[in-house]
Amino acid sequence: MTIARDTARLAVRTEKLTKHYGPVAALDDLDLELNAGEVLGYLGPNGAGKTTTIRLLLGLIKPTAGRAEIFGMDVAEHKVAVHARVAYVPGEATLWPSLTGAETLHLLARMHGETDVAYRDQLVKRFDFDTSRKVRAYSKGNRQKINLIAALASRADLLILDEPTAGLDPLMEQAFRESVLEAKTNGQTVFLSSHVLSEAEALCDRIAILRAGRLAEIGTLAQMRHLSAVTVEASFAGTPPGAVDRIAGVSAVQVAGHHLTCQVRGPIGELLTVLAAGHPETLLSREPSLEELFLSIYGEQEHVNDGARSA
Amino acid sequence: MPAVPSTTATAAAAAGAPGAATRYRLPQLSVARFTGRRCVRTGALWGLVFGLYVYDNAFAFDSIAPTAAQRNQLLGSMASNAGLKALLGDTHLITTRGGFTDWRAIGVTALIASIWGLLAATKALRGEEAAGRWELFLAGQTTARRAAANALAGLGAGVLAMYMLTALLTALVGARPNVAISVGASLFFALAVVAGAAVFAAVGALASELMPTRSRAAGVSAAVFGAAFMLRALGDATTSAHWLVYLSPLGWVEQLHPLTDAQPLWLLPLAGLVALCAVATVLLADRDLSASVLADKDSAAPRTALLGSPVLFALRLSWAAIASWLTATVVAALLYGSLAKSTGQAFASSGMLRKFSGNLTHVALRQLQLAGTRVFAGIVFLILMTLIMAYVASAMGRLREDEAEGYVDNLVVRSVSRQRWLAGRAGLILAVLLTAGAAGGIAFWVAAASQHAGLGFSELLQAGVNSAAPAVLLLGIGVLTFGFAPRLTSIMCWGILAWAFLLDMLGSAIKVNHWLMDTSLLYHPALAPAVSPDWRVAGIYLAIGCAAAVLGGWRFTQRDLQSG
């Protein structure tokens, strides 16, 4: 991946960012760019290196090799200046149990340096959050709301969100999506690490998929879909045409009675010609969901691993 | 050791079929094992320290005076000295080796063991519950009451480890012909040493059921401990109110006399109190998770005071602990200050006692040709030094916990630099320890002045500030350890304190290699007001402490945060 020289438009840039814990490579040679105003979905299974990346971007841990920049500032050298432009929501909220929600929001705002109080009040209503209770009396979801409200109300230029909707109910997830879209409209940049693929699909301009500490894929959903197979389903009055599986790019052909399902990569013209010759009654083509893409990427890896094991 | 599933089981699991279940023995005892593992380690460590301390005292008996007659004279002076009795407890047959060892060893170790007990219990019960781990336990094959009983069993294992080490070392030293302590007496003696640990572990466990947070549970337990100590000290220091001793568990421990005429019946109220607290703990444990008997309000109007900066916020969170330490310092100084005149007169009238205190305070005899009041005050300020060092060790432990639990992350991902956070916390500890020193000096002066003891305000204020010097160095070493090896912070600070205390007590009674004594932080400072404060030593401590803190602080900014 080439590193852009125009750093002014970049909110985040990493260069061969690497973190080893003894012999274990938690993150390996990560080259990543996130444009200002962009929403990036950062996906990967448990242990892929998502939280390690975030902790490196925040300067909480030091890279073994490589470097990270936020808004052109080296994270290792300008931590406080970087943090002034960043708001972070951790996956697991460790907050002071003896403070109330309101006190915690006040404290976090003071430590950040600035907050939009009116917007904070609006977020408190949107997330249906009772600020008078003490943190120890809150559920996990309500504790997460404190971090979310504090981060969003800061109006920071870059929001780094690590599994931000963990513990939130569907209504609150909707409120979260609304808030992220507002942030995007305001020109804020969002780095969203998530397991909720539908959330990433709905919110993100680009998706990065991490696998075993390495960047496996990055691009828009459309670009990634283009690289993946399209699912085609057709039903016929009679028997489906039999020559489908000989067409270049077609795979996973399944025939059940009058129905045919297959996947096709690349040009679809030849498949359509063959299907049209069979006089289909219905014809559906569907791009893969992010979940299918994700599983496909990991399925390939599993396949490679299985092959390596049997060899 | 965790069980390793068989290959067949793994293959079956991989195929989605149920594998052969690995069965663990007695899952209902998981909490006891979990708590026991932690408590046995620290309990055994303190048992080792206590055993060495007993060794020191048993041999010290021969070396405190050149002849038996002189020794008897010295010990007789000690036995009638109200101040020393308030410090270490009442004496019984002190002119015998057994009586001397009882007095010197149990008077000190019972206090340390009690503090260990209350801290271990509140951490094991309320601390684990607040950290969320209790929830996982209660979701397993147990009930809240069983889990509480398990935790008590785990604490009991820690006390047992402490007991075994103490008993073993006492029996070893007792086997020496010139010491001659029987195995039975050694076993009973160790029981007296750890009785305080058992009592205050039970008190701490009960407080954990009563109070909603660990700090409050520890605060309540510490208040009970402080009251017990005061009753014991006042009862021992005054003949008219000697009955106060019988109201205090520490007084009951004192009555055991394990190495002279043993009084095992005094174990009954101790065992009864432990049993009462343990049963109450188990009964009260049947409540909602995170709830407490003395419920705190779950809602409150916001109070935004002391939320404006990391150091103010630290002050807000720790004011109760700071107030407790300062109160303990002031109350102890008031108590001993009120005894300064009468105790000082006894010191002044006994040359042997002056020699003994000269050893304890590292002051040459010729310098001790002054009022005995100052000598006694010097010993009290030595205790104050230890108390302030204990505050530093405790505060550094909490500082490390803040990182480990992830609280620091919340601040340093915002516009708070690591330097600012650490400097604020270390600065707060420094301010508290200096305040404690000064407050101790002033409180001692107030009490001593009321008795017309002839001690000046300025000299006692200086003595108080001087007594903070070892704690300043300990703070620097603590920050250094926090920077380079954060997980060792607490054990390093408590270890240095225990080492210094042990060596100082050892050095007060027998001749110890000076290289070894040099490693004690308590050895070098002048024990004002017995002698003038040595500001050069205090300055060196301050300089080394600052250098260590700066180095540790620099390292902290460079290393990974180690949370979770």
Percentage of residues of chain B with pLDDT beyond 70: 91
Q: What is the pLDDT of residue B168?
A: 95
Residue in B closest to A102 by C-alpha: B302
Q: For residue A208, list its beta bridge partners.
A: A42, A218
Partner residue opposite A106 with nearest CB, options B307, B406, B418: B307
Interface of A with B (CB under 8 A): 55, 58, 60-62, 79-80, 83-84, 86, 88, 90, 92, 94-98, 100, 102-103, 106-108, 110-113, 130-134, 136-137
Asked if the Cβ–Cβ distance from B406 to A94 is below 8 Å, we say yes
Partner residue opposite A111 with nearest CB, options B298, B415, B418: B415
Nearest to B246 by CA among B226, B270, B264, B225: B270
Nearest to B329 by CA among B464, B192, B188, B203: B464
B562 touches chain A (CB under 8 A): no
Partner residue opposite B415 with nearest CB, options A84, A88, A107: A84
To the nearest whole number, what is the mean pLDDT of chain B? 87
Q: How confident is the model at residue B75 (pLDDT cuts 50, 70, 90)?
A: confident
* CA distance linking residue B494 with residue B85, whole number of Å: 26
Q: What is the pLDDT of residue A266?
A: 80
Q: What is the pLDDT of residue A300?
A: 58
**DSSP structure string for A54-98:** HHHHTTSS--SEEEEEETTEETTT-HHHHHHTEEEE-SS----TT
Using a CB-CB distance cutoff of 8 angstroms, which residues of chain A are in contact with residue B301? 132
CB B446 within 8 A of CB B338: no
Asked if the Cβ–Cβ distance from B130 to A97 is below 8 Å, we say yes
| Encoded tokens for B528 | 């004002």
* CA distance linking residue B381 with residue B412, whole number of Å: 39
Nearest to A230 by CA among A202, A252, A198: A252
What CA–CA distances, in Å, run from A224 to A203, A212, A216, B108, B208?
16, 19, 11, 72, 56
The residue-averaged pLDDT of B371-376 equals: 77
Q: What ipTM was assigned to the predicted interfaces of this complex? A: 0.82
pLDDT higher than 50, residue A307? no
Helix (H) or strand (E) holding A161: strand A158-162
pLDDT higher than 80, residue A290? no
* CA distance linking residue B431 with residue B433, whole number of Å: 6
Cβ under 8 Å to A: B residues 312-351: 313, 317
| Encoded tokens for B561 | 């945060």
Partner residue opposite B302 with nearest CB, options A84, A86, A100: A100
Degrees (nearest 5) of the Cα angle B193, B199, B204? 130
Residue in A closest to B299 by C-alpha: A133
pLDDT higher than 70, residue B320? yes
Span B107-122, pLDDT tens digits: 889 999 999 999 999 9
Span B334-359, pLDDT tens digits: 988 988 888 777 766 666 566 666 66
Q: What are the residue boundaries of the structural domains of chain A, listed by start?
A: 7-224, 229-287
pLDDT higher than 70, residue A8? no
Those residues with Cβ within 8 angstroms of residue A84's Cβ, 6 or more apart along the chain or in another chain:
A112, A113, B415
Q: What is the pLDDT of residue A197?
A: 80
B240 touches chain A (CB under 8 A): no
Percentage of residues of chain B with pLDDT beyond 90: 52
Q: What is the pLDDT of residue B422?
A: 97
Q: What is the domain class of A7-224 according to CATH?
A: alpha beta
Q: What is the pLDDT of residue B192?
A: 95
* CA distance linking residue A96 with residue A143, whole number of Å: 10
Residue in B closest to A154 by C-alpha: B414
The residue-averaged pLDDT of B203-218 equals: 92
Asked if the Cβ–Cβ distance from B304 to A103 is below 8 Å, we say yes
Most confident by average pLDDT, A102-111, B40-49, B169-178 = A102-111
Distance (Å) from the alpha carbon of B540 to chain A's nearest alpha carbon: 34
Using a CB-CB distance cutoff of 8 angstroms, which residues of chain B are in contact with residue A73? none
* CA distance linking residue A1 with residue A32, whole number of Å: 8
Using a CB-CB distance cutoff of 8 angstroms, which residues of chain B are in contact with residue A131? 302
Nearest to A143 by CA among B91, B290, B486: B290
Residue in A closest to B313 by C-alpha: A107
Assign A191 to helix, strand or coil.
Answer: strand
* CA distance linking residue A241 with residue B9, whole number of Å: 46
Q: How confident is the model at residue B68 (pLDDT cuts 50, 70, 90)?
A: confident
B298 touches chain A (CB under 8 A): yes
Span A24-66, pLDDT tens digits: 999 999 999 999 999 999 998 888 999 999 999 999 999 999 9
Q: What is the pLDDT of residue A193?
A: 94
Using a CB-CB distance cutoff of 8 angstroms, which residues of chain A are in contact with residue B558? 62
Using a CB-CB distance cutoff of 8 angstroms, which residues of chain B are in contact with residue A137? 298-299
pLDDT higher than 60, residue B370? no
Asked if the Cβ–Cβ distance from A111 to B560 is below 8 Å, we say no
Q: What are the residue boundaries of the structural domains of chain B, listed by start?
A: 27-44+107-294
Whether the link from the prior residue into A280 is cis, omega within 30° of 0, is no
Using a CB-CB distance cutoff of 8 angstroms, which residues of chain A are in contact with residue B299? 100, 130, 132-134, 137
Q: How confident is the model at residue A302 (pLDDT cuts 50, 70, 90)?
A: low
Give the residue, B289 or B244, on which the prediction is more confident. Answer: B244
Torsion, CA A76, CA A82, CA A86, CA A92, rounded to 10:
30
Distance (Å) from the alpha carbon of A220 to chain B's nearest alpha carbon: 29
Asked if the Cβ–Cβ distance from A98 to B416 is below 8 Å, we say no
Assign B196 to helix, strand or coil.
Answer: helix
Using a CB-CB distance cutoff of 8 angstroms, which residues of chain B are in contact with residue A132? 299-302
Q: What is the pLDDT of residue B354?
A: 62
Span A129-149, pLDDT tens digits: 999 999 988 998 999 999 999
Distance (Å) from the alpha carbon of B356 to chain A's nearest alpha carbon: 49
Instruction: Give phi and psi for A159, each to the nearest 5.
Output: -105, 120
Q: What is the pLDDT of residue B355?
A: 61
Q: What is the domain class of A229-287 according to CATH?
A: alpha beta
Asked if the Cβ–Cβ distance from B414 to A137 is below 8 Å, we say no
B310 touches chain A (CB under 8 A): yes
Q: What is the pLDDT of residue B7?
A: 43
| Encoded tokens for B487 | 């997980």
How many contacts does A have with B, using Cβ atoms within 8 A?
A: 90
pLDDT higher than 90, residue B158? yes
**What is the largest distance, in Å, between two alpha-carbon atoms of chain B?**
88
The residue-averaged pLDDT of B522-550 equals: 92
Asked if the Cβ–Cβ distance from B300 to A100 is below 8 Å, we say yes
B554 touches chain A (CB under 8 A): no
* CA distance linking residue B350 with residue A140, whole number of Å: 67
Q: Which residue has the tokens 């407790």?
A: B324
Residue in B closest to A151 by C-alpha: B414
If you ran DSSP here, which 8-state letter would residue A100 be given?
B
Phi/psi region, residue B171 (left: phi>0; alpha: psi -120 to 50; beta: rest), is alpha
Using a CB-CB distance cutoff of 8 angstroms, which residues of chain A are in contact with residue B308? 110
CB A275 within 8 A of CB A249: no
pLDDT higher than 90, residue B87? no
Q: What is the pLDDT of residue B407?
A: 94
* CA distance linking residue B285 with residue B292, whole number of Å: 9
Span A276-287, pLDDT tens digits: 999 999 999 887
| Encoded tokens for A9 | 């438009």
Using a CB-CB distance cutoff of 8 angstroms, which residues of chain B are in contact with residue A96? 317, 407
Using a CB-CB distance cutoff of 8 angstroms, which residues of chain A are in contact with residue B296? 134
How many other CB atoms are there within 10 angstroms of residue B199's CB atom? Answer: 29
Give the residue, B501 or B400, on which the prediction is more confident. Answer: B400
Q: How confident is the model at residue B16 (pLDDT cuts 50, 70, 90)?
A: low
Lowest mean pLDDT of B132-141, B213-222, B552-561, name the range: B132-141
Span A214-252, pLDDT tens digits: 998 899 888 877 667 788 999 999 889 988 988 988 888
Span B271-319, pLDDT tens digits: 999 999 999 999 999 988 888 898 778 888 999 999 999 999 999 988 8
Q: How confident is the model at residue B183 (pLDDT cuts 50, 70, 90)?
A: very high
pLDDT higher than 50, residue B95? yes
Assign A17 to helix, strand or coil.
Answer: strand
Q: What is the pLDDT of residue A4?
A: 42
* CA distance linking residue A94 with residue A138, whole number of Å: 12
